[in-house]
Homo-oligomer: A and B are copies of this chain.
Amino acid sequence: MDDISPSVERTAGPRTDAEDAELAFNVFAKSCPSRRTLEDVTGRWGSLTLGALHEGSLRFNELRRRIDGVSEKMLSQTLHSLERDGLVHREAQPTNPPRVDYELTPLGREVAERLLSLIHFVEARMPSVLDAQQSYDAARGAR
């Protein structure tokens, strides 16, 4: 029940490549690797990093300033994950002082586009969300 290969629950019959991909990697299944990747992408710092890089390549400390509140450590860690997933490319120049640029890969760009669609939508609807929160808080727990 806890098999190695990508989690799958299928019935039978032939399938298209598209079906295959979606069925083979199902985020709703606990042990599916797509879950980890989705978390890298949507995580607190991952989403903001991809969002920032969508506008163009940035250096380490530029990213740090752009993403208000991220620590050196978390940014470093986040960039490693995204690079490992093949979403971000790291370009280091062996100069002194060192200069390293980070930019999205083609795959990363596609991911970032979908992510930004979500981010922009949330930003645009914040007034509605804030209203809902006030109603909710007014109704129940003032805590």
Interface residues of A (CB under 8 A from B): 6, 18, 21-22, 24-30, 33-34, 37-39, 41-44, 47-48, 51-52, 66-69, 83-87, 107, 110-111, 114-115, 117-133, 135-137
Contacts and interface: CB of A to CB of B under 8 A. Distances in A.
Nearest to A66: B28
Contacts of A67: 28
Nearest to A137: B84
Nearest to A114: B118
Contacts of A114: 114, 117-118, 121
Nearest to A130: B33
Contact of A86 (B30, B51, B52, B129): B129
Contact of A22 (B118, B123, B137): B123
Contacts of A68: 28-30
A31 to B, nearest CB: 8
A6 to B, nearest CB: 7
B119 A37 contact: no
A119 B38 contact: yes
Contacts of A120: 22
Contacts of A22: 120, 123-124
Contacts of A115: 118
